[in-house]
Amino acid sequence: MNLTLKEILNLPDLNNFETGQVPNALAILFETGRQSEDVKIIRQGLKFAEDQSLENFSNDEKMVFHYNVANGWSYFQRLTEELNSDQFWRFSHKELDQQIINLRLALSYSHKSQNRIKKCEILTNLGNVFSHLGRFSEAQLYWKKVLSVDSSFPMAFGNIGFGLFHYAKTIYDSGHQFLFFQFAHKYLLKTIDTDIYDEAKSAFQNTINLIESFIEKEELKNIQDLKHFSLGESKGEIQYRKWCLKNHLFLNPLNDITTENIAGHDCLLLPTMTLNFDKTPFYQTIFNQIKQEFVSARHLLFEGLNQKETHYSDKDNLQLDTLDFAVYSYSSEKTKIAFRMCYSILDKIGYLLNDYLDLGFQPEKVSFRSIWIVYDKKSKTSKMNPKISQTQNWPLRGLYWLSRDFFEKDESFSSTIEPEAKELAKIRNFIEHKSFKIIEFGENGLFDKNLTYAINREEFEKKTLNLIKLVRASMIYLAMGINLEERKKEINKPVVPIDFIGLRDEYKR
């Protein structure tokens, strides 16, 4: 279909185009709008995308379609917002919503695609938008996935380095921060001599220059031995810790840059905090509890996934074979417990933030999703909690956007950017209150007149692993977000330092 740009813009929609032509037409519109800085062209392209039927599209065509639509929203955002303005620091953006939704949809259609370059571009852009939002820990995992698809993809190296540099600025452990700068410098150097677009190359080179302005080049190159650290004494403990490292599950920012032994322990704590004399170490107490629940849930999941032999507690537990391939075992219950504990931990994070930021919610009404939104009586609408948005706190913004991956029935909080959020909420509800079964074979969904929710064991284990990764990230954002808030405090009164010692392992019985 040979049409001029003007003729395309005057069309009512693109539904008469061949399926393979639609993504290309959108790409032309969005790139033309970006280069000419014409928002009207981009807006028209987004309208075409909204009205487009994808019924006859192949998965590859859907992948490219959603990737291009995400680009359209990205260009629209760049042309309509001012950097570091109040609008820029708004926690909630329709443009960012749409970028994440479309990139995730593109990724979902890419799994069987042979187009490796497009897969890399999708994952790279997901990492970019996650980093922009403040979900910098998860961004690193997206960029690392790019390298698992194409180990030489230059933009992945550059973005990893660029992301690590900004991640480092939130870290309050000087040793960890130094290692982050070393890795950032190493990854950025891998990109500079490659064929990437000029704007990115300039940004990466400027970051290299900045790092080298406060750390000597020789120091940056001299990265310590990361392997020479113990992972335990028993075979079982070593196996467990290697699994945690591989899945980036240690409460340790270093596990975002390496899976070597140095990251194999849970060292994350809240930063040094300034409290009134009459204030007990309340936040440290809650964080201790959160950490212990996470570590316990993580080990339960490890056992649920890896120890499939019959447990002695399951022996002589007479049950009926109802011919539905259902799994009833101690091992599967461990996975279910881990799933439930994840939600409990998230609500405790909301509970801690409610008090720390003085958000004013009644403690019994706090949940991880509820603290971000308040009801405006004047406009009779729900809006972003100004006590949070006014912080302009990058990790707290990341925590807010992570909360958007979860679903609540209340319409005020039901907007979500995670396509599977409703299913996760349904699973949680059926596990907690209704009939839920894990099956070895068969399809997922509601059965028995919608009384039972059934899910394939492999699928449930995958969802639980992804969920516990979200919880880990949320704990990192919480600690780093509090660190940035503590830096803002002006100390006008005498301060008495109180040093806490680590609780000895032999007391943990």
Q: Are residues 192 and 341 in the same domain?
A: no
Instruction: Say yes or no: 204 and 340 in one domain.
Output: no
Q: What is the CA radius of gyration of the chain?
A: 25
Query: What does the mean pLDDT of the chain come to?
Result: 90
pLDDT for 411 equals 46
Q: What is the pLDDT of residues 341-395, one digit of tens each?
A: 999 999 999 999 999 999 999 999 899 988 998 887 887 788 888 899 889 899 9
- Mark whether 84 and 201 lie in a shared domain: yes
- Cα gap 205→213, rounded to integer Å: 12
Domain count within the chain: 2
Q: Is the same domain home to 333 and 470?
A: yes
Q: For the whole model, what pTM was predicted?
A: 0.92
| CATH code, 202 | 1.25.40.10
Backbone phi, psi, residue 362, to 5°: -65, 130
Domain boundary among 221, 254, 274: 221
- Domain-embedded: residue 359: yes
Q: Structural domain of residue 55, as residue ranges? A: 5-221
Residues 199 and 332 in one domain: no
Question: Which among 221, 241, 270 is the end of a domain?
Answer: 221
Residue 231 lies inside a defined structural domain of this protein: no
Burial zone of 96 (CB within 10 Å; 0-12 exposed, 13-18 middle, 19+ buried): buried
CA distance 299 to 93: 37
With pLDDT > 90 as the criterion, what percentage of the chain qualifies? 68
Q: Tell whether 199 and 299 lie within a shared domain.
A: no
| Residue 226 included in any domain | no
Shared domain for 299 and 214, answered yes or no, is no
pLDDT at 263 over 90: yes
The answer for 380, left when phi > 0, alpha when psi is -120 to 50, beta otherwise, is: left
Residues 475 and 339 in one domain: yes
Do 304 and 213 sit in the same domain of this protein? no
Burial class (CB in 10 A: 0-12, 13-18, 19+), 84: exposed
Tokens of 166: 């900004």
Residue pair 139/130 in contact (Cβ under 8 Å)? The answer is yes
How high is the pLDDT of residue 226?
96
The answer on 401 and 483 residing in a single domain is: yes
Over range 39-45, report the average pLDDT.
96
Q: What span, in angstroms and rounded, lies between the C-alpha atoms of 436 and 451?
A: 9
In-domain check, residue 383: yes
Determine the pLDDT at residue 325: 85
Residues 307 and 177 in one domain: no
CA separation (Å) from 342 to 57, 76, 153, 290, 467?
37, 36, 34, 10, 7
pLDDT in the model for residue 374? 86
Beta strands in 184-315 (DSSP E): none
479 in a domain, yes or no?
A: yes
DSSP 161-194: HHHHHHHHTT---HHHHHHHHHHHHHHHHHHHTS
CA 57 to CA 67: how far, in whole Å?
Answer: 14
pLDDT of 500 higher than 70: no
Residues 358 and 467 in one domain: yes
* Mean of pLDDT values over 160-169: 97
Give, for 383, the enclosing helix (H) or strand (E): strand 381-384
> How many C-beta atoms surround the C-beta of residue 83 within 10 A?
8
The residue out of 221, 240, 268 marking a domain boundary is 221
State the amino acid at position 27 in one-letter form.
A
Identify the weakest region by mean pLDDT among 203-217, 395-409, 464-478: 395-409
Which helix (H) or strand (E) segment holds residue 75: the answer is helix 59-80
Task: Report pLDDT for 493.
Answer: 66
